[in-house]
A and B are shown apart, each in its own frame.
Chain A
Amino acid sequence: MLILKCPYCGVEAEETELTAGGEAHLKRFGPGSSDDEFHDYLFTRENPKGVHFERWRHANGCGKWFHAARCTQTLEVFGTYSAQTTEPPQEIKDKIAAKRPGWTWREFS
């Protein structure tokens, strides 16, 4: 029963207010992409024991999708941020790097 702060409406929302949407920052592949690219886009997901970026929707609230950076092992939340971005904001990357020395963006443990 996680608590995540919705970056849109500011509510500290309990998991029952949210729906999970899987891995964040996927790049969509459409017509013209190779079979491998499309296959990976559809089916291949990271499942790290550690830092992860996820999509959540404040479904029983303001209805907005947002992103959360959290540790799947310790349940630590590094921050939530707009879903309308292709990369986590620098401040969240910095915060993770400070807490997890050696961590870099797009490297999953």
Chain B
Amino acid sequence: MSTRISSSAAPRFGRLIDRDQPVTFTFNGAPLQGYAGDTLASALLANDQMLVGRSFKYHRPRGVVAAGAEEPNALVGLGRNERFEPNQRATTTELFHGLEAQSQNHWPSLNFDIGVLNSKLFSRFLTAGFYYKMFIHPRPFWKHIYEPFIRQSAGLGKAPDTELKDADTYEHFYFFCDVLVVGGGVAGLQAAKSAAASGAKVLLLEQNAYWGGRAPVDGGLIDGEAPEVWIEKTRADLAALENVTLRSRCMGAGIYDHGYALGYERLTDHDPKLFGPRHRLWRIRAKQIVTATGAVERPLSFAGNDVPGVMLASAMREYAVNWGVLPGQRILIATNNDDAYRTALCLQDAGAEITCVVDARPNGGGALMEEVRARGIRIETGYAIKKVQDGKRVHRVALCAQDSDGTDFEEVDVDAVAMSGGWSPVVHLWSHCGGKLIWDETQAHFRPDADRAPTSHDGAGFVWAAGSANGDMTLQGAVSDGAHAGAKAAEAAGFSAQMPDAPNCDETVEAALLAVWSMPAKAGIKLRMKTWLDYQNDVKVSDVQLAAREGYESVEHTKRYTTLGMATDQGKLSNINGLAVLADSLGAEIPQVGTTTFRPPYHPISMGAIGGEARGEVFQPLRKTPIYSWNDKNGAHWEPVGQWRRPFAYVRDGETVHEAVNREVKNTRENLGLLDASTLGKLVVKGPDAGRFLNMMYTNMMSNLKIGKCRYGLMCSENGFLVDDGVVARIDEDTWLCHTTTGGADHIYSHMEEWLQTEWWDWKVYVANVTEQYAQIAVVGPNARKVLEKLNAQANGGMDVSKEALPFMEWRDGTIGGFDARAYRISFSGELSYEIAVPASQGAAFWEALIEAGQEFGVMPYGTETLHILRAEKGFIMIGDETDGTVIPQDLGLNWALSKKKDDYLGKRAHGRSHMQDPDRWQLVGLETLDGSVLPEGAYAVGGGYNGNGQRNTIGRVTSTYYSANLGRGIAMGLVKHGPKRMGDVITFPGTDGTEYHAKIVDPVVYDKEGEKQNV
């Protein structure tokens, strides 16, 4: 069984835990106890909880395999309600009082799982590429059989309740440094020390809560002392330096272009009672980066290598040394290298019986093996594990000769298996931004190729790998390499660094490993089907071999076909073993097959950290018009329009939104309506070439507009599509004011700047976006003039707003009711209408003056929905309703606004393309339902026949549809094939609810066709 090592028997074990501080937590509701300093994984193992979850596809029992970020199995759901989070690694979760963990992927319980039948009944269907194969034959089976079955059993963990909001806060943090060192092991500490000695500003990040990485676990001496001593001294020295920043619990997550890097700091995960943000995302700009990210041990590929109790040899040693946990009492060790012998020595010291060391190398190893042999431990060289017997934990293992198919075997009873297949440098960060790798034949791993480092703005490398992340697997190598990388990085960052003396290390020399990709070497299919490569995604040796047989030769294709390395651990343990199997199946060398692409982040980071502070009200800025407060106090039902909030309608007590809209629609036509139109874009275009420039921007002529007059204009993109519209006013000889749509203001401003700066840069024109400098109010309805005249009378004078002095489509500057005003006689409603701009600071006062003076004329404010209905009654188009980026002015019957006198304007050449002149283009018409009902938004009209997908052919669609209170029925506009030639025809719009709507094609203008109401 798995136990805590007694401190009296073996006091040196458990260096990170505090046995005086017990910590209680629950696993699947059962209360358990650990110690301060434990990880969830070490505490579970101390409680003999070997089974921690079920696998993804086959629901096989799974236990802890590793001790760090590379852990594929021990994923749990943590916390509850608004703090619930699935798929958290038990190995990187620090234990705290009251921690609640639930195991995943099982039903009804962890111990008895019905889904395990997948493994027994369906495993031959769930082979490589099963999704792709299942999708095809027979088609009806997918919907009724495969899909429900897969839905039920697939998926890692369960998603948090979508109704709940994350209770924690998160933040972003910006940091700039000369040298960033990722990894606080001995190589990283030494690199930071060497870089800092040059005076460079250094940031050192360590993902764990403790410093020094594996060195205290692996042993040896640094400067004649235990590694812990040197680690603590170096850490303290660095902490004392002003030019060094140290952060533990902060993982280097990714390296990007030009020295950008992300750090992921977990501030309160280890103690949720702490105040402040839970995670902090460090957005780092570093001139140079050292990746001292260590190495991870590889599993060995033998049958049953996923049974709980089979662990990495290095992880077992780590659990013993760091947390005082012994994962078994009778332990078998399987290896292809010398390092695993350290585990034999360590675990025996901790009190375990080492049943046997199975060494695949025909002649075994070197000094470490001899040390183990001298203790009387059984060692078998040229030997292999044939198979670990299935179950919820290890209880029996079959051994055989490595160079065999396992026919002859012996069985031993053990309760844990430690395996070591060699070490792979963590090259992820090196590779994120394009660093290349070379295959190291001796150590059987990929390591960074220093000659092909990721390059920065100057074309030179900016990343230095150091220590075991660089393939230097010895203690001395790691420290020396760290010193070298730190000094080189500082030098490249512009500091003069001296090559420092690295400390001297003592350690036992290791014999060479033997690359072993299959145990035993000639394992048959029955064994290979039980030999796991990717634990998290349940990919076996047989799956990769099948993929190779089916022609998946590219490693990237094999990855996607088999899902090898695609889970949340991104194949940290499985990649090299998988590549080796693929290479072997293809008869190729491993370096020819190559690796898949390493993408950031190294380890999953929380969505909360990515979002940072940008949530809720501060997700994006909110733009408010000068009349916002009045609107808010007077029943505004808000509608988001880009970053603006506009009143959709002003709802009175006892009224529905729909009723409010109907009231506003009628009142504006019958009495007086006010619209807050301040969001309308206002661009001043000024200069000697402004007229010439606007002639290019607009489809119609703007240079000949008379001072004091207004003109409606259309803007197209260079490829001919209608992008914006609005009224342009000529202010003086070289000044025009262009109104844009609310959503188009910033975009059109940029559009003008782009053409001015990049195409017609010698034209003398300035553009200024003055949208927010003015409040603009539309005064609309039969009583519009009366209220303005009343205000002027009250102020003893003001602008003459009579029909003669201010005719339709003209503007005047002056005062109205004592306010500085520019009044435009323009109308988007068909009513007598003035749009009046006043300085933003006077907007609220002017609005209130209009409301007060308008009482006797029946004034009511109206919102955007009424604006839309009034314009639709008049057949006026709306950008974004009648247009969608594929519509040209000709589709909307706006040919009159396309100048024939101008040689050129944006979109003119495009309108000459064949598709733009196609007579079959859908064109704007009005649509009138036969029963007066309102057509559904976006509904399509159907013609005869079916298309290739078996869908009914479409001949048009609804672009705008409303209930008109003025007409007492639904009104709509739409684009219909040959529409203008089909007036009076009835066409059919199927609804999504099975009903059909029948509408007659009519003129889009359905109210006051002669325009008598606005010309008064």
A3 and B457 contacting across the interface, CB-CB below 8 Å: yes
Residues of B contacting A10 in the complex (Cβ-Cβ under 8 angstroms): none
Whether B909 lies near A30 (C-beta < 8 A) is: yes
- Shortest distance between the CB of A73 and any CB in chain B (Å): 8
Closest to B262 in A: A1
Bound-complex Cα distance A35 to B910 (A):
9
Taking a contact as CB atoms closer than 8 A, the residue among A3, A30, A57 that contacts B754 in the complex is A57
| A1 lies within 8 A of B904 (CB) | no
Check if B107 is an interface residue, CB within 8 A of chain A.
no
Given A31-B908, A33-B909: A75 touches B903 (CB 8 Å cut-off)? no
A55 sits at the interface (CB 8 A):
yes
* Binary B-proximity of A17-49 (CB < 8 A = 1, otherwise 0): 000010000001111110100100010000000
Question: Would you give the shortest CB distance from B869 to chain A, in whole angstroms?
Answer: 36
Which of B256, B719, B761 interacts with A83 by CB under 8 Å?
A: B761
Is B933 engaged at the interface, CB distance under 8 Å to the other chain? no
Chain B residues with CB under 8 A of A2: 257-258, 457
Taking a contact as CB atoms under 8 Å apart, the answer to whether B455 and A75 are in contact is yes
Sample of 4 more A-B contacts, CB < 8 Å, known A1-B257, A31-B912: A1-B256, A64-B757, A76-B457, A83-B758
Q: Which chain B residues lie closer than 8 Å to A42 at the CB level? A: 718-719, 910
**A3 close to B909 (CB less than 8 A):** no
Q: Is A65 an interface residue (CB 8 A)?
A: yes
| Chain A residues within CB distance 8 Å of chain B | 1-3, 14-15, 21, 28-33, 35, 38, 42, 55, 57, 59, 63-65, 71, 74-77, 83-84, 99
Residue of B nearest to A39 (CB): B913
Residues of B near A29 (CB, < 8 A) are: 909
Question: In the complex, A21→B913 CA distance in Å?
Answer: 24
| Residue B759 lies at the interface, judged by CB distance under 8 Å to chain A | yes
How far, in Å, is B548 (CB) from chain A's closest CB?
29
CB-CB < 8 A to B914: which residues of A? 35
Q: Is B456 an interface residue (CB 8 A)?
A: yes
- Total A-B contacts with CB atoms under 8 angstroms apart: 71
Q: Is the CB of A77 within 8 A of B457?
A: yes
B436-469 Cβ-contact flags toward A at 8 Å (1 or 0): 0000000000000000000111110000000000
- Minimal Cβ-Cβ distance residue in B for A33: B909
Chain B residues lying within 8 Å of A35, measured Cβ to Cβ, are 913-914
Nearest-neighbour CB distance to chain A for B470, whole angstroms, equals 22
Residues of A within 8 A of B718 (CB): 42
- Bound Cα distance A14, B514 (Å): 48
Least distance between A58 CB and chain B CB atoms (Å): 11
Cα distance A15–B285 when bound, in Å? 12
A54 to B757, CA, bound (A): 15
| B910 engages A76 (CB within 8 Å) | no
In this assembly, does B260 line the interface, its C-beta being within 8 Å of a C-beta of chain A?
yes
Cβ of B753 under 8 Å from chain A: yes
B947 to chain A, nearest CB (A): 26
- Inter-chain CA distance A30–B759, complex, in Å, is 12
B564 CB, min distance to chain A CBs, angstroms: 28
Q: 5 closest A-B pairs (Cβ-Cβ)?
A: A76-B459, A1-B260, A84-B761, A74-B455, A65-B757
- 14 residue pairs of the A-B complex, CB under 8 angstroms, read A1-B258, A2-B257, A2-B457, A3-B285, A29-B909, A30-B904, A32-B909, A38-B910, A59-B750, A65-B753, A75-B457, A76-B457, A76-B458, A77-B458
Q: Which residues of A contact B759 (CB under 8 A)?
A: 28
Residues of chain B with a CB closer than 8 A to A99's CB:
459
Could you tell me if A76 and B908 are in contact, using CB atoms closer than 8 angstroms? Answer: no
Distance between Cα atoms of A35 and B455 in the complex (Å): 42
By a CB distance below 8 angstroms, the chain A residues around B758 are 21, 55, 65, 83-84
Q: Which of A32, A75, A83 contacts B456 (CB 8 A)?
A: A75
State A3–B912 Cα separation when bound (angstroms): 41
- A82 CB to closest chain B CB (Å) equals 9
Contact of B757 with A71 in the complex, beta carbons under 8 Å: no
Q: How far is the CB of A10 from chain B (nearest CB, A)?
A: 16
Q: A14 vs B261: C-alpha distance in the bound complex, in angstroms? A: 13
Min CB distance, A95 to chain B, in Å?
A: 11
The reply to whether A71 and B459 form a contact with Cβ atoms under 8 Å apart is yes
CB interface residues, B 334-360, toward A, < 8 Å: none
Q: Give, as a whole number of angstroms, the nearest-CB distance from A44 to chain B.
A: 13
A41 CB to closest chain B CB, in angstroms?
Answer: 8
User: Looking across the interface, which residue of chain B has its beta carbon closest to that of A77?
Assistant: B457
Specify the chain B residue showing the minimal Cβ separation from A21: B754
Which residues of chain B from 886 to 906 have a CB within 8 Å of any chain A CB? Answer: 903-904
B904 neighbours in A (Cβ, 8 Å): 30-31
| Chain B residues within an 8 Å CB radius of A77 | 457-458
- Smallest CB-CB separation from A38: which chain B residue? B909
**When the two chains form their complex, are residues A74 and B909 in contact, meaning their CB atoms are under 8 A apart?**
no
Find the B residue at minimum CB distance from A28.
B759
| Docked complex Cα distance between A21 and B751 (Å) | 11
Which residue in B455, B719, B750, B761 is a CB contact (below 8 Å) of A76? Answer: B455
The smallest C-beta distance from A60 to any residue of chain B, in angstroms, reads 12
Task: State the CA gap A63–B778 with chains docked (Å).
Answer: 32
Closest Cβ of chain A to B475, distance in Å, is 35
B781 to chain A, nearest CB (A): 41
Interface residues in B292-336 (C-beta closer than 8 Å to A): none
1/0 per residue, CB under 8 A from A, across B758-775: the answer is 110100000000000000
Q: Whole-angstrom distance between the alpha carbons of A71 and B258 in the complex?
A: 12
A31–B459 touching, CB < 8 Å: no
Q: How far is the CB of B411 from chain A (nearest CB, A)?
A: 56
In B724-756, the 8 Å CB interface with A consists of: 750, 753-754
CB-based nearest B residue for A67: B758
- Docked Cα-Cα span, A35 to B914, in Å, equals 9
Q: How far is it, in angstroms, between the C-alpha of A75 and the C-alpha of B435 when the chains are bound? A: 12
> Nearest CB to that of B461 among chain A residues?
A74
Shortest CB distance A84–B (Å): 4
A83 to B757 CA separation, bound complex (whole angstroms): 7
- Closest Cβ–Cβ distance, residue A100 to chain B (whole Å): 10
Using Cβ atoms and an 8 Å threshold, which residues of chain A touch B761?
83-84
Nearest B residue to A85 via CB reads: B761
Please report the C-alpha to C-alpha distance between residue A59 and residue B753 in the assembled complex, in whole angstroms.
11
Task: Chain A residues near B456: list those with CB within 8 A.
Answer: 75-76
Residues of chain A within 8 A (CB-CB) of B457 are 2-3, 75-77
Question: In residues 406-449 of chain B, which contact A (Cβ within 8 Å)?
Answer: 433-434
Instruction: Give the most central of A14, A15, A30: most B CB within 10 Å.
Output: A30
